[in-house]
Amino acid sequence: MIELNNVTFRYGHEDGDIENESGVENISLSVKAGQCVVLCGRSGCGKSTIMRLVNGLAPSFYVGNLTGQVNIGGRSPSSLCPEERTRLMGVVFQDPRSQFFMDNVRDELAFSAENLGISPDKIMNRIEKQSKELGISHLLNRSLHMLSSGQKQRVAIAAVSVLSPPLLILDEPTANLDHRSTQSLIDILGRFKQNGTTLFISEHRLRPLLPIADLFVCMEKGKIVRTWTKEEFSRLAYEDVRPYGLRHPDMVKSQSMSKSAEIPSIKPVLEGQGLTYHYKRNGDGIKNLDITFPKGSVTALTGENGTGKTTLCKILCGLLRQHKGTIFNQGIRMSASQRRASSYLVMQDADYQLYADSVGNEIVLGRRLHDALRLRAYEAMAAFDLEKLRERHPASLSGGEKQRVTMAAAYCSDAELIILDEPTSGLDGDGVLNVAAWVKKLAQAGKTVVMITHDDILSKLACDQVIELKNQQKGVSTVET
C-alpha cells in the first residue's frame, strides 16, 4: 500500500531554509495493505514529515526538495487527482478543531462525499452505516461545538472514512483523550483493520495501540533507527526504548526519585470550601467541592472528560468566579482578582500564552527588568534547558518547546499557584520525564502546583497527591489517594 524508497525530503522556501523543520533522510519503508503501522520517536524526529509525504501535502503544500520515490497504492501521491486522492486516503490531523468545515455532525460527515458529487441518497446511506459503526449515531444532529474531545476525534475519523478509503492516516489520535475514549478509539480502529483498511498512525502513547498494531517504526533525527514487530515491542523493557525517548509504563520504576523524602509542610495551604459553579449552557460544572493543596506540593487532578477539572482550575486561578464557596490562602480569603494576580495557568494550547518576540523576553514579560529578575530568568532558562533557544521567536518553536517556555515563565513569575492543563499531551517519553522533573523544580521553589492530566506515568512520577474528580448526579465528589 505504502512504499517509500530511499526518500529524502528537505523543507525549503525560496527565501532560505526553515531550520526548525529539518525533514527526513534515506527513508525506506513498506506497508502492506491491511497492516497497521505506528510511527514513534521523539518530537521533531520527522514523523510528521513522513505523514505529509504519504498524504501528498509535501511537497505540494509544504514546499521542499524531494528525492526518492513515494508510492501510495502503486502511484505517486502528487500524480493523483483530487478525486482519486480523496477516495484513496482519509487523513485525520492532530487538532480536530481546525479541520471541521461544517457546524453540525451530519454535514461534516457528508462533506467529502458531497465534494465528489455522490448522490444524496447514497451519502445518507453511508453516513448511517458509518455512524453506527463508530457509535456516533446519536450525535448526528448535534453541533460540533458541543462535542467532547473524544467525540470530536471520532467524528473526525468518521468524516474521513465515510468514503471507506483503503488507507487511513492518523496524527496522534489519542493525544487529548482520557482512558475511556482512548479505549473506544482503539476498538474502532481495530474494526477498520478487520475490514482490511491500512492504518498509518503517528503516536506517542504506544501501549494502548498494541492490540491493533503490526509494526512499530522508530525514528530519530529524520532517520528510521529501529523497527519492531508487535511481539518484539510488547517484550521490550524500558531500558531498550529509553535511548529512543519513547514512553514505557516502567518509566516510573526506573525513575523512583526521592519523592517521599520531603513531605511538604502541611501548614500553609491553599484550600477551597464548598466550591460550586454551573455552566448556564448545559448545567455542567462542579458542586460543593472541598479541596486542599499544601504549599509546595504537586497535585494531579484526574478524572474523565467533563467532570469539571478545567472549571475547578479556572476558579482556582481566578478566571471564573465561583457561584458558591470560598477560597482561602493560609486562612485568608481570596477574591478572584487576587487569585489572578498570584496564580499562573499554563494552558494546554501554548499558542494563546506566548506574546514576546524572543524566549528571553517571554520569560520576563510584563515586569520591570532589574538584576534580581534577570538572575532569576537565567536560572529559569538553565533549569528548563532553554539557553540555546533564548533568541528564538516563541511561535517558531515546537509544541514541547513552547510548553517549556511557558513553564519557565511560570517559574520566573511571582505566582504562588501554578496550574498546568494536560502538560504532557503530545510529548514523547523524554518529554514526560522532563515535565515531571520541572514540576518538581517548581514545587521546590515553593510554588503550589496543580496538574490536570490523564497521564498515569506523569502523576506517578511527580505528584504528592492525586485527586480524582467523579461525576455524580449533578455533582462531583473527590477521591483522594
Chain residues binding other proteins by CB under 8 A are 18, 20, 55-57, 61, 82-83, 85-86, 89, 91, 93, 95, 97-99, 101-104, 106-107, 110-120, 123-124, 127, 145, 159-160, 317-319, 337, 340-347, 349, 351-355, 357-358, 365-366, 393-396, 409, 413, 415
Q: Which three cell numbers stand for residue 73?
A: 497504492
What are the grid coordinates assigned to 264, written together?
A: 511538604
In the complex, minimum distance from the CB of residue 110 to other proteins, in angstroms, rounded to a whole number: 5
Query: Smaller CB distance to other proteins: residue 57 or 445?
Result: 57
Nearest distance from residue 300's CB to other proteins, in Å?
Answer: 19
Q: Which of 105, 160, 111 is nearest to 136 (CA)?
A: 105
Looking at the Cβ atoms of 58 and 212, the one nearer to other proteins is 58
**Which CB, 409 or 457, lies closer to other proteins?**
409
- Please list, in sequence order, all residues whose beta carbon lies within 8 angstroms of the beta carbon of residue 58, skipping any fewer than 6 positions away: 9, 11, 49, 52, 64, 66
Say what the alpha-carbon torsion angle 404, 406, 409, 414 is, to the nearest 10 degrees. -130
* Closer of 113 and 301 to other proteins (Cβ): 113
Output the smallest distance, CB 48 to other proteins, in A. Answer: 11
| CB contact at 8 A, 104 and 144 | yes
Least Å from the CB of residue 265 to other proteins: 25
How far is the C-alpha of 37 from the C-alpha of 31, rounded, in Å? Answer: 7
Three-class HEC string of 159-178: HHHCCCCCEEEEECCCCCCC
Instruction: Compare residues 51 and 433 and give the one whose CB is closer to other proteins.
Output: 51
Orientation angle between helical segments 371-383 and 399-412, nearest 10 degrees: 140
Shortest Å distance, C-beta 275 to other proteins: 18
Beta carbon of residue 426, minimum distance to other proteins (angstroms, whole number): 15
Comparing CB distances to other proteins, the nearer of 27 and 346 is 346
CB of 82 to other proteins, least distance (A): 4
Question: Least CB distance from residue 171 to other proteins, whole Å?
Answer: 11
For residue 260 the three cell numbers come to 517521599
Q: Tell me whether residue 385 or residue 414 sits nearer to other proteins (CB atom).
A: 414
Closer by beta carbon to other proteins, 239 or else 357: 357
